[in-house]
Structure 1
Amino acid sequence: MDTSLYKQVKTQRGFTYSYYFSPPTVGKPVLFFAHGFPNSSYLWREQVAFFKPLGYGLVVPDLLGYGGTDKPTDPKLYIGSGLAQDVVDILDAEGIAQVIAIGHDWGSYLVSRIVNSHSSRVAACAFLAAGYMAPDPSYKNAVMQPEASLLKQMVGYDNFAYMRFFIQPNAAEIIEKNIDSFLCLIYPEQPEIWRDNMCVDGGARSWVESEKMNPLPSYMTPELVEHEREALLKGGLAGPLCWYKSMVDDAKAADDATLPPEAHYVAQPLLFVACTRDVICLPILGDAGHSKYAQGLVTRREIDGDHWVLESHPTECSGILHEWIKGLDL
Structure 2
Amino acid sequence: MVEMDRNNYKQTKTKRGFTYSYFYSAPASGKPVLFFAHGFPSASFLWRKQVAFFQPLGYGIIVPDQLGYGGTDKPTDPKLYVGRGLAEDMRDILDAEAVATVVAIGHDWGSYLVSRMLHYIPLRISAVALCDVGYRPAEPGVNSISQKEALIKMIGYDAFAYQRFFIQPDAAAIIEKNIDSFISMIYPEKPESWKENMCVDGGAREWIENNTITASPSYLIPEDKEAIKTSLLSGGLAGPLCWYTQQLEQANIDEDAKLPTAAREFTHPLLFIACTKDCVALPIFGDSSHGKYAKGPVTRKEIEADHWGPMSHAAEVNEMVLEWLGTLG
TM-score category, normalised to shorter length: over 0.9
2:301 partner SS: strand
- Cα displacement string for residues 51-109 of structure 1 (whole angstroms, at most 9, x for unaligned residues): 11111110000000000000000000001000000000000111111000000000000
**Does 2:298 correspond to 1:298?**
yes
Length, aligned pairs only:
326
C-alpha contact (below 8 Å) 2:37/2:63 kept by paired residues: yes
> Which residue matches 1:236?
236
Question: Using the alignment, how far apart are the partners of 1:233 and 1:206 within structure 2?
Answer: 21
- Which TM-score applies when normalising by structure 1? 0.97
C-alpha contact (below 8 Å) 1:139/1:253 kept by paired residues: no
The alpha-carbon deviation at position 248 of structure 1 amounts to 1.6
Question: Using the alignment, how far apart are the partners of 1:250 and 1:312 within structure 2?
Answer: 33
User: Which letter maps to 1:174?
Assistant: I
User: Which letter maps to 2:148?
Assistant: P
C-alpha contact (below 8 Å) 1:6/1:20 kept by paired residues: yes
C-alpha contact (below 8 Å) 1:7/1:18 kept by paired residues: yes
- Cα displacement string for residues 16-63 of structure 1 (whole angstroms, at most 9, x for unaligned residues): 000000011110000000000000000111111111111111000000
Question: Using the alignment, how far apart are the partners of 2:274 and 2:105 within structure 1?
Answer: 14
**Does 2:318 correspond to 1:318?**
yes
> Which residue matches 2:260?
260
Question: Using the alignment, how far apart are the partners of 1:153 and 1:94 within structure 2?
Answer: 47
User: Which letter maps to 1:59?
Assistant: I
2:16 partner SS: coil
**Does 2:19 correspond to 1:29?**
no
Choose which of 83, 89, 94 in structure 2 pairs with 1:86. 89
Question: Using the alignment, how far apart are the partners of 1:288 and 1:254 within structure 2?
Answer: 25
- Cα displacement string for residues 157-194 of structure 1 (whole angstroms, at most 9, x for unaligned residues): 11110000000011000000000110110000111110
C-alpha contact (below 8 Å) 1:144/1:164 kept by paired residues: no
- Cα displacement string for residues 104-155 of structure 1 (whole angstroms, at most 9, x for unaligned residues): 0000000000001111111000100000001111324x413623x3x33222
Choose which of 114, 138, 148 in structure 1 pairs with 2:117. 114
Q: Indicate the RMSD between aligned Cα atoms, in angstroms.
A: 0.9
> Which residue matches 1:15?
18
Moved over 3 A (4+): none
The alpha-carbon deviation at position 255 of structure 1 amounts to 2.4
**Does 2:29 correspond to 1:4?**
no
Question: Using the alignment, how far apart are the partners of 1:169 and 1:255 within structure 2?
Answer: 25
Question: Using the alignment, how far apart are the partners of 2:22 and 2:37 within structure 1?
Answer: 11
> Which residue matches 1:73?
76
Choose which of 92, 105, 109 in structure 1 pairs with 2:108. 105
Identical pairs, percent = 59
1:49 partner SS: helix
Question: Using the alignment, how far apart are the partners of 2:285 and 2:76 within structure 1?
Answer: 30
User: Which letter maps to 2:95?
Assistant: D
> Structure 2 unaligned runs (5+)?
none
> Structure 1 unaligned runs (5+)?
none
> Which residue matches 1:186?
186
C-alpha contact (below 8 Å) 2:141/2:250 kept by paired residues: no
**Does 2:57 correspond to 1:54?**
yes
> Which residue matches 2:272?
272
C-alpha contact (below 8 Å) 2:106/2:130 kept by paired residues: yes
C-alpha contact (below 8 Å) 2:19/2:72 kept by paired residues: yes
> Which residue matches 1:63?
66
Question: Using the alignment, how far apart are the partners of 1:300 and 1:205 within structure 2?
Answer: 35
The alpha-carbon deviation at position 269 of structure 1 amounts to 0.2
- Which TM-score applies when normalising by structure 2? 0.97
> Which residue matches 1:211?
211
User: Which letter maps to 2:11?
Assistant: Q
